[in-house]
Chain A
C-alpha cells in the first residue's frame, strides 16, 4: 500500500502551489509534498512576468512573448496560459496590478526600479510611475536597507519625482541583528515602547514620531518591508495617519515579510481548495517504467511510498536544488530526467559576469504538455509534468520572469494532470 492521491505535486514554491491549487479547484484529490519550507518566504513577494528581453526593459510582457525563443516556457503554455494563471492568482490573493497588462515599476531596497506584473497592496503607493515626492526611511539596526543611498539610486534611475532618505532608530531598542519578524510583530501588536525622553508610546505612534521631523513635505513614505506580519494593512493605515502621508513598503531580501505573507495566503487557498500538504520531507526516488507508479518520500530515514495517478515536478532550479550539478554534469535528482547541457563544462558559462550563461537556463526540456523529454524528444514518463524553475529554456534572473513562469507552467501542469484523471 501507499499514501494515495490523484495528483501528487512535488515542491512547495510558487509553481507547486499554482499547480496544486489549479488541480484541486478542478476537483482532483491533490497532495503537495515539499522538502523544506516554501522558498517563497525568501522571495521578494513581487510577481514578475517578463521584465526584460535581450537586456531591454519591457513595458507590456504580453506584447513581447512572441519574441522569446521557441523553447521558452511561455511559448509552451502560450499567452492565454499566462493570463489564466494570473487570473487565478488575482482571485486568491489581494495583489494589485491586474487592471493593466503593463508592467508596474516598483522600487527595490537596492534603489533599482523593477518592472513587475503584480505587487502587494503594501507596495502600491510606492510605484515609480507616481510623481509624488518620496521619503525613504531606513532603520539603524536594519543594515540591508540604506535609505539615503537607495533614494539616490532611485533618483539616478530617472524617476519623475524627488526621493530623499533618512535613517532613524527603530523604537523599542531591538538588538542590532534582530530578526525582521521582531519589527513586524512589535508593530502588529502595537505594544508600548520607550521613546526619547523616557515616555512610553504604542509602537506605531512611536515610529511615526521618529519619522515626522524628516517628513519635510513628502507626500509618501517608504519603509523596509517589515510593517507587520498578521496585520500589515492596519500597521500601514496607522503610520499613514500618524504621518499624514501615504506609507508603502520597499521589498527586501530574504527572509522576506511580503514573501512570508504571500506563502501564507497561497497555502490558505490550497487548504480552502481541499488539498493535502506535507512539508519537511523530500521525495528521493520513484518506481515505474513508462509511468511513474509511486515515489518514495524520505521521512527521517524511513522511505514512505506515495502513489498518485499524475505527478507534477516543481522542485525548483539550481538554487532550489531541483536541478543539481557537480563537476561531472547537471541532473534532475528525483526522476533523473534529462537536463540538456553542453558536453564541455567550460561552455556552461561565459567569461563576462552578465554574459549569456548557459547555466542560467539549465533545466528539463518539456514537450508541448510540459512532460520532460529524453534525448529523442519523447516524454520520460506519461504522467509526469514539470513546472517552474526546474524547466529549462528561460533565464529568470535576466528576464525577470521567475514568478510568471512558475505560475503559468504550474497552473498548466495542474490542469493538464487533472484532465488525464
Chain B
C-alpha cells in the first residue's frame, strides 16, 4: 500500500495485541505460561502447553473435502473483489464474490443446516475477483466448489434448468453431432419456431444466433493435410529457411478446444501455419472440452471426466518434451489454474506448468515483437480489441495491443477493461440474458466509438457477444499474425 490513512488503519490493527503481551508475543496460538513480556524465556511454540485436559477438536471431520480455510482466513473484507465483479455491478441482488467465496465457505463449515445459496448460480466464473484480491484468497476456486455443491445437493436432476445447463456445458457433444451435417444444423438451430420452443422448454434465450458450424472441422482438415507427419515436414523446411538446426527441439501439442474445431477452424489453421513458420512441429492430441463451461455450471463430474482425458493425453506429450499451446484463453486458463485447483490426476501440475497461450509462447521463445515490427498486413480494418477476462487473469490482457503496436497496416485500439458479459454459457440462459447484455453495454459503446468496425479477441464467446452487440466481424490475433508473417506461404 503506497498511501497512508494510518490513523484509520493502523490503530485498530495495533490495538489487537500491542497492549496485551499474551496476544502480541505468541500470536494467540498458545498460552505462553510464565514467559510474558519482553523476554522469550518461557515461550516455546513447538511445545503444546495446554495440559492433559486439552481435547483437540477436529475442525473438519470429513477430510475428503478441500480445506479452503487458509484462503478464507486471508480475506480481510476490503471488498475490492466486489467492486471488480461485473455481475454485482449491474445486478443489485447479487451479493458478490466476497459472500460467494470466503463467507459462504465459512457458513458451510459452521452451520450444519446451511445449504449453498442459490445466488452462486449468478456468478459467471469470469474470475476477475482472483486478480483483484490483494490478499491471495482463492475466490474462483471457492466459487467452483460452492457451485458444484449447489448442483449436486440442491438442483433437481429432473428440472429443465439442470438439463439446460448440462446441455450448454457439454457443448462439445452437441457440436460433434451438429458438425456431422453442418448445413442442416446451422439451419435448424436458428429456425425461429424451434428456437421459441427451446427457450420456453429449456430456457435457452432465443435472442442469440447459434454460431455457425464449419463445413470441415479443424481436425478433419488436419488429418486431410497429413497430420503430424506433414507438420514435421513443414517445420523442417521452415527451420532450414530460417537457418536453424534441422533437428532443433521445437515441438508443441495444440489444444484447440471445441470452438476452433467445430466453429472457427480458420483460427486453428492460423495457429498451425504460424507455428510451422517458426519451425515448430505440431501434434494435435486426443482431447475433450477444457471444462470451462462445466465449471461455470457446477458440473464438476463432467469436467473431471473430460479433464482426465486431457491431462492424460497432454501429460504423455509433456513427458516427451512437448509444451502445450491453446488458442482459446479460457482453455489455457482451465488447464493452468482450475485443473490444479480442483483435480489431482497424475501429471496435472506438470501439464499446467507446460501449457501456454499461443502468442505468449512465441513471445517467450521467438522474437515475435521484432518480426511483427518488420512486417505489414493488408485486409484488416482498424481493430477494436477486447481482452477476455480469462486472458486478463493470465497477465495477457495487453499482449495483442502491444504486439501489434508496431505492425504496419493495422491499428489496434483497446476498448477498455469491462467484461463482455457473456461468460460462456451464462449469456445463453434466458434468465441471464438481460444481465449479460447490461454488463456488455460498456464494451459495445467502446467498440462503437473506436475507429474500426472489426473486433479482435482471443475468446470464442466474447467474440459472439461482441458480434451480437455491435454486428461487427470479429477476428482472432492469430489470424493477424498469420497474415503478417506467413502471407503467401499459407497454402493448404
Contact = CB atoms under 8 A, between A and B. Distances in A.
Interface in A114-133: 114
A46 B8 contact: no
A280 B364 contact: no
A197 interface: no
Interface string B276-307: 00000000000000000000000000000000
Interface string B382-400: 0000000000111111110
Given A253-B8, A255-B80, A174 B24 contact: no
A179 B364 contact: no
B79 A320 contact: no
Contacts of A344: 40
A146 to B, nearest CB: 13
A179 B1 contact: no
B1 A320 contact: yes
B250 to A, nearest CB: 12
A26 to B, nearest CB: 19
A48 B336 contact: no
Contact of B133 (A13, A36, A181, A355): A36
Contacts of B4: 43-44, 46, 48, 51, 114, 396-397, 400-403
Interface in B49-90: 78-80, 82-85, 88-89
B45 A327 contact: yes
B89 A181 contact: yes
A39 B1 contact: yes
B66 to A, nearest CB: 18
Contact of A37 (B19, B21, B39, B80): B80
Nearest to B402: A276
B354 A279 contact: no
B402 A254 contact: no
A280 B1 contact: no
A138 B361 CA distance: 51
Contacts of A181: 83, 89
A1 B360 CA distance: 12
A180 B83 contact: yes
Nearest to B10: A397
B132 A43 contact: no
A43 B5 contact: yes
A138 B9 CA distance: 20
A36 B355 contact: no
A299 interface: yes
B366 interface: yes
Interface in B325-353: 333, 336-337, 340, 349, 352-353
A319 B3 CA distance: 11
B79 A277 contact: no
Given A179-B83, A327-B45, A398 B364 contact: no
Contacts of B6: 396-398, 400
Given A300-B333, A302-B354, A353-B14, A259 B3 contact: yes
A349 B92 contact: no
Per DSSP, chain A at the interface is loop
Interface string B1-35: 11111111111001100110100110100000000
Interface in B74-113: 78-80, 82-85, 88-89, 92-93, 95-96
Nearest to A15: B2
Given A3-B363, A3-B364, A302-B352, A254 B78 contact: yes
Nearest to B19: A353
Given A14-B3, A316-B1, A402-B3, A280 B398 contact: no
B259 interface: no
Given A14-B2, A279-B397, A42 B80 contact: yes
A113 to B, nearest CB: 11
Count chain A CB atoms within 10 A of each CB in B8, B21, B96, B360 and give the residue with the most: B8
Contacts of B337: 300-301
B336 A40 contact: no
A345 interface: yes
B1 A300 contact: no
A261 to B, nearest CB: 13
A117 to B, nearest CB: 11
Contacts of A260: 83
B25 A281 contact: no
B444 interface: no
> For chain A, which range describes its interface: under 10, 10 to 19, 20 to 34, or 35 or more residues?
35 or more
A279 B89 CA distance: 22
Contacts of B396: 278
Interface in A48-67: 48, 51
A148 interface: no
A275 to B, nearest CB: 9
Give the interface size bracket for B toward A.
Answer: 35 or more
A42 B78 contact: yes
A174 B92 contact: yes
A402 B336 contact: no
A7 interface: no
B371 interface: no
B402 A179 contact: no
A254 B79 contact: yes
B365 interface: yes
A351 interface: yes
Contact of B364 (A110, A174, A304, A316): A304
A389 interface: yes
Contacts of A182: 89, 92
Contacts of B11: 353-354
B2 A179 contact: no
A194 to B, nearest CB: 14
Contacts of B367: 1
Contacts of A354: 11, 14
Contacts of A81: none
A300 B18 contact: no
A179 B83 CA distance: 6
B38 interface: yes
Contacts of A37: 80, 84, 131-132, 134
A303 B2 contact: no
Contacts of A180: 83
Given A179-B88, A181-B83, A253-B8, A352 B18 contact: yes
A297 B1 contact: no
Interface of B: 1-11, 14-15, 18-19, 21, 24-25, 27, 38-40, 45, 78-80, 82-85, 88-89, 92-93, 95-96, 131-134, 333, 336-337, 340, 349, 352-356, 360, 363-367, 392-399, 402, 405
23 contacts: A39-B134, A44-B4, A44-B5, A51-B4, A253-B5, A254-B78, A274-B405, A279-B131, A279-B392, A280-B393, A280-B397, A297-B395, A299-B336, A299-B360, A299-B394, A302-B353, A316-B2, A320-B2, A388-B2, A397-B10, A401-B4, A402-B4, A403-B3
Given A280-B395, A401-B4, 16 more contacts: A1-B366, A33-B395, A36-B134, A37-B80, A37-B132, A42-B1, A43-B4, A43-B5, A174-B92, A175-B93, A253-B5, A320-B1, A327-B45, A349-B18, A351-B19, A398-B6
Interface of A: 1-3, 13-15, 33, 36-37, 39-46, 48, 51, 108-110, 112, 114, 174-175, 177-182, 185, 253-255, 259-260, 274, 276-281, 297, 299-305, 316-317, 319-320, 327, 344-346, 349-355, 388-389, 396-398, 400-403, 406
